Amino acid sequence: MIFSTPIFIFLFLPCILAVYYISPSKLKNTSLFLASLVFYAWGEPVYVSIMLFSTVFDYINGLSIEKFKSQKKYNKAKLVLIISIAGNLAILFFFKYSNFLISNINQLTTLNITPLDLKLPIGISFYTFQTMSYTIDVYRGEVKAQRNIIDFGTFVSLFPQLVAGPIVRYKTIAEQLKHRVSSINKFSEGVQRFIIGMGKKVLLANNIGILWEQISNSDLTIASAWLGAICFSLQIYFDFSGYSDMAIGLGKMFGFDFLENFTLPYISKSITEFWRRWHISLGTWFKEYVYIPLGGSREGKKKLIINMLIVWALTGLWHGANWNFVFWGMYFGILLILEKLVFLKWLKRLPNFVQHFYTLFLVVVSWVIFAIDDTSKLKIYLQTMFGLGNVPLIDNQTIYLFCTNIFLIIICIVASTRLQSIINTKLMNFRHEGLIYTVKNICYITIFIVSICFLIGASYNPFLYFRF
């Protein structure tokens, strides 16, 4: 089940909200936990057991680590931490990467190992990272072990962020699990944020995604290859950030405050800035639990380069078990190393529009690497973009696709800029608060109704991060 479906909006969500708000305070986490299990089991009735195992596994590990540390048995605490990390990674590797490993072994050797053909459990990359961060933080002494297994289960399975993030670290919501404030204003903010996210996903991402599908499955020209790359760049932003907005909005409806996951990444003026704005929860996770423990930048340039390459290879692999994701991660790793060590200080001296162009050019190219998992097709697409080979600059089909979608493209580009925040700032300074309140609510209602109409009539409603 995903958020942008009528069954979630008109059946699941109203039911769980009703149950949650009529439940006594002591049972609110229980109702959320059970609802989250139903939400997950709706799409993964078998693999819900994997999530429950991870929950119990790291609940016990957290308590054991804290117990051994209180007894000053630090070696035992460290051993439990290693068991926790190894166990989580083993589950993730088995389900997500075993076929990738078998495929590469078969290609490199004469062996003919039969692939396992396992279905990837939904959201396993997200909740695995969440439970690992919990045991690490308990070991570091940054949080106390959770003694209530229902509260811990709620943290792990919390359905607003379960299948696509943001990656919620335990220390950011530990207090909220026990003491969170629900109010009409907060609930209203949540509804508004959910509607904005749904509009991004249904009205923008889905429709610009159709154009990407048309282009990527047709004969390419140089112009159509670039048009397709721009369309996918817009699709993945509105798809993922829209889902994050819906998750944050749902969290507010239940009294939670999740950290932001996107802050207008396409206004960035460097790749370094882009990754401070894109999928913030993932970047923070790798920084705190991989990059810094490896030594970060404290041990010289050579170690910094190695550490960054490790982090970005892992970042690529986190997104998927295919070589294009490794290439994509290493692509960004190399760019970030070059910026950090060579030319970021020079880049900042250039005019803003040059910095923006440089960043968007490299980001758009990166999304082509991300989108196409067939290496031979990826090579052809990139060659076409840069005019390598006997390909025309443009054809009538490209002109037709561009002209018939020009308004959608413009809306998507404008929506990825600061315009919305600028408008909000100006409206806040407007004297007629009642009029502004009415107009904003009309806009939210319109976005909601139009999105529902598109959902009911559309056959194309993918979610790109659902597979991760």
C-alpha to C-alpha distances, 384 to 226, 230, 400, nearest whole angstrom:
9, 14, 19
Q: Which of these, 379, 376, 356, 405, lies nearest to 225 by C-alpha position?
A: 379
Which structure tokens are listed for 282? Answer: 């993932």
**Which residue is catalytic, options 179, 279, 319, 356?**
319
Q: How far apart are CA 27 and CA 34, in angstroms?
A: 11
- Round to whole Å and give the CA distance between 53 and 58: 8
| C-alpha distances in Å from residue 390, one per residue of 34, 380, 384, 387, 393 | 58, 11, 9, 8, 10
Helix (H) or strand (E) holding 94: helix 74-96
432 is catalytic: no
Phi, psi dihedral angles at 202 (to 5 degrees): -80, -45
Query: Which one-letter amino acid corresponds to residue 408?
Result: L
Which ranges in 204-349 belong to alpha helices (H)? 206-216, 222-253, 271-277, 280-286, 292-294, 301-319, 323-338, 344-347
DSSP 120: P
- Cα–Cα distance for residue pair 225/216, rounded to 1 Å: 8
Cα–Cα nearest to 253, from 452, 16, 3:
16
Q: Give the residue numbers annotated as catalytic, written as ranges.
A: 319
